[in-house]
Amino acid sequence: MSENDYPAVLPEQGDRSRGVIALLESNCTVCMLCARECPDWCIEIEGHKVTTPATTLQGRDRSHNILDRFAIDFSLCMYCGICIEVCPFDALFWSPEFEYAAPTIGGLTHEKEQLGGWMQSVPIEARGDNDPADSASDQR
């Protein structure tokens, strides 16, 4: 088998292949660190805060962030991996997936549903205990 057999035969991808970036949505706290550190400014994140009222008399209200939008513009991304490195919550992973060409530049901006779907292709050694079933399909 050789690369010339593609697309009839998919090439074998190494475990550390940098195909595309996958998002484990359930781990994302909308901290924005990845978007701030990305040298190309190609990550777009939108979220909102929700407050859960205290359940006891002395308790305090608690607030947390909900992710509304997470998109990466792969027409700008240079695959440096900084976003993956800086994420403090293990929400971003390298996936060996590479078949995401688009007929337009705009089509190369992939939203969290697509990024979440790519979690399925992240090698188990790379994702550790993080379950891809908790990705974008997770309706928190």
Number of residues that bind ligand SF4 (CB under 6 A): 25
Cα 59 to chain center, whole Å? Answer: 34
Q: Closest separation between CB of residue 2 and ligand SF4, Å?
A: 29
Q: Closest separation between CB of residue 21 and ligand SF4, Å?
A: 6
Binding string, residues 21-60; x marks residues near ligand SF4 by CB under 6 A: -------xxxxxxx---xxx-xx-x---------------
Q: Closest separation between CB of residue 38 and ligand SF4, Å?
A: 3
Q: Which residue type occupies 111?
A: E
Q: Closest separation between CB of residue 37 and ligand SF4, Å?
A: 6
Contact 29, 11 (CB under 8 A): no
Q: CB-wise, 5 or 120, nearer to ligand SF4? A: 120
For ligand SF4, the binding residues in 59-118 under the rule CB under 6 A are 72, 77-83, 87, 89, 91-92
Q: How many Cα atoms are found within 13 Å in the side-chain-facing hemisphere of 138?
A: 18
Return d(Cα 50, Cα 89) in angstroms, integer: 20
Return d(Cα 75, Cα 135) in angstroms, integer: 23
Contact 122, 15 (CB under 8 A): no
